[in-house]
Structure 1
Amino acid sequence: MSEGAVLVYSVKLMRQILERHEASERHVGPGYLNVHDVKVPGGRVALAGGFGIGGPAAATAMEEMVGAGARRIVSIGGAGGLHPAQTIGDLVVCDRAVRDEGVSYHYLPPDERYVRPDAALTARLLEAVEQRADGVVAGGTWTTDAPYRETREEVLHYRAEGVLTVEMEAASLAAVALHRGVEFATAFAVMDSLAEESWRPEGLGHPDAVAALNILFDAAAAVLV
């Protein structure tokens, strides 16, 4: 299996990637992972999906991929925007994640509030995304295990800290990567918004959001080969 791997959460995204690229299926782990060896410009990357959402599912998938030989891993998925100016399909490259979940505390000491992806791989990913899209930003994310329990007070608190998005996997995956000694980076497409008084989910599955995820895959592949 390729040493470079991409983790995805959207079934639609995975289907589109496999339609756009020559790929062959690979068996990894106990069978719940859907893994393909994908031919991309300059080489091949492993593409993993079908494992669900959230920190425990993503961390388990990463463990299986590392066990199969992955050494550089990029996670791409959707996130909720915390700022009113964000629009559906905006791209964010993560430089730190708030540990408001459980998995990271099984891998790292509890004293650090943030966990950070690999700086060098993140810088390369940011550059690759910027080459393919306008308005890309780098910043923090808030990782939570309870996507239906965010409060207005939390949104305002994290926004004041400069956190840009909320999602369910980044802190967990960064912690596993640090523990296992592999390179990790992650980026998101804004799919919904918590910036106003109520949740705005209209971007879930929106064509602009899915197109943005495809841009992230192309950028991830470019830095992993």
Structure 2
Amino acid sequence: TAPQPWQAIAQRFCSIGSCGTLNQSATENKIIIPTSAIRDEGTSYHYIEKGDEIAAEISSINIATQCLEKHNIPYILGKIWTTDGIYRETLNLIKKRKEQGCLAVDMECSASLAIAKFRNIPIIQFLFGADNLDATEWEQRDLTDYGFQSANKYILLALELAIAFGKEEYK
């Protein structure tokens, strides 16, 4: 069969994003590498079978951790809560997700994992903590104040991971 248009373009994905941290002490000043995601959004259900959680591919996790270790960049592996209902992030639900082991909350991780699985295309994701939901009050951190100060570092890291993704030394 003829390749689909997306097949001619994408063979691997490297995704960078910000997230709200649910465990500030564990994630502070570290890159977060998702190992799985709780599926509390609508997109992933269009691509793979129903389920509460989706796992990241271990080979992609290994590439990311090897690359971060090579460059002495602190990181943590863990579960992410993906939701597209930002105003549904209630105190009770935040508590429940923390009890389930989630380090952070974002809006894309589980959907990205599902699409990559559906298309059989590997994906490396990494996140940096912005908003802190692990406090008595929500500590909103605007990306212009918090994320952009390190934007060059994150972009260079994404490029390094993308390059490493194709190198034999990480396979």
**1:157, distance to aligned residue in structure 2 (A):** 1.2
TM-score w.r.t. the length of structure 2 is 0.83
Correspondent of 1:184 among 108, 123, 133: 123
Instruction: Output aligned runs, 1:1-225, within 5 Å.
Output: 66-86=6-26, 89-110=29-50, 112-202=51-141, 204-205=143-144, 206=146, 207-225=148-166
Amino acid at match of 1:135: P
Gapped regions of structure 2 (runs ≥ 5): 167-171
- The structure carrying a bigger helix percent of its residues is 2
Does structure 1 conserve the Cα–Cα contact (< 8 Å) formed by 2:29 and 2:74?
no
TM-score (norm 1): 0.64
Cα deviation per residue 1:155-207 (whole Å; 9 max; x = unaligned)?
A: 11111222111001011111111111111121101111111122212252325
The whole-number CA distance in structure 2 between the counterparts of 1:101 and 1:150 is 12
- For the Cα contact (< 8 Å) 1:76–1:216, is it kept in 2? no
Look up the equivalent residue of 1:221 and give its one-letter code: A
- What secondary structure does 1:148 align onto? helix
Give the Cα separation in 2 of the matches to 1:100 and 1:130: 31
CA RMSD of aligned residues (A): 2.2
Aligned partner letter, 1:113: D
CA–CA distance in structure 1, aligned partners of residues 7 and 17 of structure 2: 22
Q: Runs of 4+ in structure 1 displaced over 6 angstroms?
A: none
- Unpaired stretches in structure 1, ≥5 consecutive residues: 1-62
Q: Indicate the SS of the match to 1:216.
A: helix
* 1:217 Cα deviation after fit: 1.1
